[in-house]
Chains A and B, each alone.
Chain A
Amino acid sequence: KAGVTQTPRYLIKTRGQQVTLSCSPISGHRSVSWYQQTPGQGLQFLFEYFSETQRNKGNFPGRFSGRQFSNSRSEMNVSTLELGDSALYLCASTGSGIAETQYFGPGTRLLVL
């Protein structure tokens, strides 16, 4: 099975712009989660989608939003970018089974100038 894919891998934006990141889960996985990783705050949960519904949301401002499509692919959007949004954004899809292990993609590195 192909793993989780994320596009683009690298992105440079300027303050005030908006950005959309894409994530394709492992085939058959219906849950997609997003995380932000920064040197200062570490790994923080953004949100989780299952069957096009957001089931859980982390403590981030409304500028961060997401959605999931019927084929389980997910996008996250950040509007009005700030310098502090520079981070590695990781997407994970969740397998079935008791462990419900989250499998991560390679991430998108966003730099806001």
Chain B
Amino acid sequence: AQKITQTQPGMFVQEKEAVTLDCTYDTSDPSYGLFWYKQPSSGEMIFLIYQGSYDQQNATEGRYSLNFQKARKSANLVISASQLGDSAMYFCAMRRSYQLTFGKGTKLSVIP
């Protein structure tokens, strides 16, 4: 069975600073996909970034980058130059058999 662990229930970051949100996963599948989503208070899940298990390079999308350490089974999200609009819940997820398994999420609060 797949499992996603996000150990930080809440995080604070100063505006314009970088922040790392932790995610570890457990799977026996050799091929898998890892995703990060942002969920503002409105409820919609917004796709941020994807990392495939065979990707050699860490994924990047604008201010988002993924620190992928396959041997450690970790896929941490790095947000650079935090903005007030980054305050939200962040979820790490793994895809298998047409479904996503999500972690419990991390609530990020950006302080002006």
Write the residues of chain A forming the contact surface with B, with a CB cutoff of 8 angstroms: 31, 33, 35, 42-43, 45, 48, 50, 55-56, 58, 88, 90, 92, 94, 98-107, 109
**Given A43-B91, A55-B98, A99 and B44 contact (CB-CB distance below 8 Å):** no
Cβ A48 vs Cβ B98 within 8 A: yes
How many A-B contacts at CB < 8 Å in the complex? Answer: 56
Cβ A58 vs Cβ B99 within 8 A: yes
Q: How large is the interface on B (under 10, 10 to 19, 20 to 34, 35 or more residues)?
A: 20 to 34
* B69-112 vs A, Cβ < 8 Å mask (1 yes, 0 no): 00000000000000000000001000101111111110000000
Secondary structure class of chain B's binding surface, majority of residues: strand
**Given A104-B44, A104-B45, A106-B42, A99 and B98 contact (CB-CB distance below 8 Å):** no
How far does the Cβ of B96 sit from chain A's closest Cβ, in whole Å?
9
Secondary structure class of chain A's binding surface, majority of residues: strand
The yes or no answer to B43 lying at the interface (CB within 8 A) is yes
Inside 8 A of A45's CB, which chain B residues have their CB?
Answer: 99-101
Write the residues of chain B forming the contact surface with A, with a CB cutoff of 8 angstroms: 33, 35, 37, 42-47, 50, 52, 91, 95, 97-105
Question: CA A90 – CA B91 in complex, angstroms?
Answer: 14
The 4 A-B residue pairs whose C-beta atoms are closest, nearest first, are A104-B45, A43-B102, A45-B99, A48-B98
Inside 8 A of B44's CB, which chain A residues have their CB?
Answer: 104-107
Cβ A48 vs Cβ B99 within 8 A: yes
Question: CA A90 – CA B97 in complex, angstroms?
Answer: 18
User: Can you give 26 A-B contacts (C-beta < 8 A)?
Assistant: A31-B98, A33-B99, A42-B102, A42-B104, A42-B105, A43-B91, A43-B100, A45-B100, A45-B101, A55-B97, A56-B97, A90-B43, A92-B45, A99-B50, A100-B95, A101-B47, A102-B35, A102-B100, A103-B47, A104-B37, A104-B46, A106-B43, A106-B44, A107-B43, A107-B44, A109-B43
